[in-house]
Amino acid sequence: MPVIAVIGAQWGDEGKGKIVDLLAQEAKIIVRFSGGDNAGHTVVNPYGEFKLHLVPSGIFSPQAICVIGNGVAVNPSVLIGEIDELNQRGVDTTRLFISDRAHLIMPYHILLDGLEEKLRGGKAIGTTRKGIGPTYTDKAARLGIRSGDLLDKEAFLERLHFILDYKNIILTKVYGVSPLSLDEVYSQYCQYGERLAPHIRETSMMLEEALNRDELVLLEGAQGTLLDPDFGTYPYTTSSSPLAGGSCLGSGLSPIRINRIVGVFKAYCTRVGGGPMPTELKDETGSLIREHAHEYGTTTGRPRRCGWFDAVAARFSTRINGFTGMAITRLDILDILPRLKICVGYKLDGQTIDYFPANLATVEKCQPIYEELSGWQAPTSHIRQYEQLPLEARQYVARLEELTSCPANLISVGAQREQTIRKTPIL
């Protein structure tokens, strides 16, 4: 059986949770490989509606093992809260495992995220303030604490002591705030460790074993391609790689094991936080989409910036990830619009370009070139067969497929699992 990676193709919030929940019904292992609780994956299924931040969206499939991979930044308090909520609502979490290599979000990371954002003033990134950037900074600086460290209390104390001394110098001398207490952080994290111990283990071997048994493995992306620190709109990005390439690094799976890469695209674009978004609609249509689709951040509640589908960015995303197919989500949101636009190129200094520039100031200068299509102005949420979609909706989907050179595997027309059209088989 194959490995399928499900990847955010835009600026996050594309609806990956729903797609993973759907595919997970046939999977044996589902692995989150990047990000942390900055992510918010909404899943609506027979158990109810859930907003998952760390637990993989496959947790509702009773046959599946869920793994929080080494590439994820784990806030143990958030994770425990999520496990408790799932248990209270009847979802079994004994099948949830956390890589012993996954880095932990510590209280100073959350403090520093806020302090750094404040210091950036007008140039703030608009982070979720969950401590993500500082955690990955420490990983690269070799100052991180990993989940496996919680399993040896003595060694953990020694490491925390060393790191906290260093962090307290930064907190007090650079930012002028109070230091954190070693005793308090230590005892709090020891409690987390005791609670999470049954879930913490070496997890890359679990993937290998599943593949040897010929079982389906799903790699669940978080955030989106244009938030990647290398290929996104840097520095207005997140700090771990949401790309298909990142799925190997963040799970311990070899790149040659991935068979299919499904890019999840919203039928329009949204972005939350700062940074350029060439097709952003600052007008009534943008507000209409936001209100109709309730485009507010799952994690922070911030209003999302809404805009037309950007095929230039989509082609870039398809190339960087090697998408073998797309999942188009929230097509039903467009039901209400009489005319639709797709950005097919950018105007830059009087020239037409068809690539996504690396330089931030250049992206900011890009003016979208639009192609206009007729809307369908008819409900689609009840439709399950592609052929039953209104002609204009099929034309819209076909144009997205053409512009990205990628077949649409799935089309989502509502939040529920069954509100899905299976157009082209993934495998």
Active site residues: 13, 41
Q: What is the DSSP letter of 170?
A: I
Q: Which of 99, 128, 203, 247 binds ligand IMP (CB under 6 A)?
A: 128
C-beta separation of 298 from 18 below 8 A:
no
Q: Which of 45, 75, 223, 247 binds ligand IMP (CB under 6 A)?
A: 223
Cα–Cα distance, 35 to 53 (Å, whole number): 9
SS3 category, 328: strand
Q: Which stretch binds ligand IMP (CB under 6 A): 163-171, 249-257, 266-274, 354-362?
A: 266-274
Closest distance between ligand IMP and the C-beta of residue 232, in Å? 8
Stretch that binds ligand IMP, among 17-25, 38-46, 369-377, 401-409 (CB under 6 A): 38-46
Are the CB atoms for 22 and 220 separated by under 8 Å? Answer: no
Q: Contact region for ligand IMP (CB under 6 A) — 22-30, 63-71, 120-128, 397-405? A: 120-128
Task: Choose, by CB under 6 A, the member of 7, 9, 10, 12 that binds ligand IMP.
Answer: 12
Residue 243 near ligand IMP by CB under 6 A: no
Which lies closer to ligand IMP via its Cβ, residue 265 or residue 396? 265
Any contact of residue 130 with ligand IMP (CB under 6 A)? yes
Q: Which of 61, 127, 225, 318 binds ligand IMP (CB under 6 A)?
A: 127
Nearest residue (beta carbon) to ligand IMP: 273
In whole angstroms, give the CA distance from residue 219 to residue 305. Answer: 27
User: Which of 299, 173, 275, 267 is closest to 227 using CA atoms?
Assistant: 275
- Using CB under 6 A as the binding criterion, the count of chain residues that bind ligand IMP stands at 21
CA distances from 321 to 77, 246, 258, 315 (A): 32, 10, 12, 10
Rounded CA gap, 297 and 53, in Å? 12
Per rule CB under 6 A, is residue 321 in the interface with ligand IMP? no
Residue with tokens 């520095």: 235
Phi, psi of 86 (to 5 degrees): -60, -45
Cα–Cα distance for residue pair 112/229, rounded to 1 Å:
19
| Phi, psi for 92 (deg, rounded to 5) | -75, 130
- What is the distance between the alpha carbons of residues 192 and 157, in angstroms, rounded to a whole number? 14
Told to check if 37 binds ligand IMP by CB under 6 A, we report no
Closest CA to 33 of 230, 231, 253, 326: 253
Q: Which is nearer to ligand IMP, 45 or 135 (CB)?
A: 135
Nearer to ligand IMP, 129 or 257 (CB): 129
Q: Which amino acid is at 410?
A: L
Return the number of the residue (227 or 397) whose C-beta is nearest ligand IMP.
Answer: 227
- Looking at the Cβ atoms of 223 and 247, the one nearer to ligand IMP is 223
Taking the least distance from each CB to ligand IMP, the nearer of 59 and 397 is 59
Per rule CB under 6 A, is residue 238 in the interface with ligand IMP? yes
List the one residue out of 36, 41, 113 whose CA is nearest residue 75.
Answer: 36
Instruction: Identify residues 274-293 at the interface with ligand IMP (CB under 6 A).
Output: 274
Residues counted in the chain: 427
Binding site for ligand IMP (CB under 6 A): 12-13, 38-40, 125-128, 130, 132-133, 222-223, 227, 236, 238-239, 272-274
